[in-house]
Amino acid sequence: MKNFIQPGDNVTATALYDVVSGAGVKVGSLIGIASVSAQSGEDVAISRSGVFSVAKVSAQAWTFGAKIYWDDTAKLFTTTASSNTLVGFAHAVTANPSDTGEVLLTGQVV
């Protein structure tokens, strides 16, 4: 197929803020995990789908399959829907409190 460019699981975009490898990142409506560290204005490789261990709102318990959202203000994953963007589902049960959780990113707004 002559018009195929790439699978799209990983894309490169310009970071809108400083980001470290393994952290959540949002560029426009695209949300994923930074594959590399980048400063604001630099290119950052972003993984859009897969299962990742991520920084989360500590005072939340996650149940397997719970909807997970990106809080772009706090730069954390959360189960709180209000003003946040749905990005996937909890991939494991996570206790309250805990700083990390497992999320299955779907690669699309779900």
Q: Give per-residue pLDDT as tens, 59-101.
A: 999 999 999 999 999 999 999 999 999 999 999 999 999 999 9
Grade residue 108 by pLDDT with cuts at 50, 70 and 90. confident
What is the rounded distance in angstroms from the CA atom of residue 42 to the CA atom of residue 48?
18
What is the rounded distance in angstroms from the CA atom of residue 70 to the CA atom of residue 99?
15
- Name the architecture of domain 12-106: Beta Barrel (2.40)
Which residue from 51, 39, 44, 10 is spatially nearest to 27, judged by alpha carbons? 44
Tokens 């490898």 locate to 21
User: What are the domain boundaries of the chain?
Assistant: 12-106
Residue 1 has a pLDDT of 87
What is the rounded distance in angstroms from the CA atom of residue 68 to the CA atom of residue 11?
21
Would you say residue 15 has pLDDT above 80? Answer: yes
Query: From the CB of residue 2, how many other CB atoms can be counted at a distance below 10 Å?
Result: 3
What is the token pair recorded at 71?
A: 């809080």
Q: Which pLDDT tens digit goes with each residue over 24-69?
A: 999 999 999 999 999 999 999 999 999 999 999 999 999 999 999 9
Find the Cα–Cα–Cα–Cα dihedral 50, 4, 21, 65, rounded to 10°: -20
Sort strands 24-27 and 67-71 into parallel, antiparallel or unpaired.
unpaired
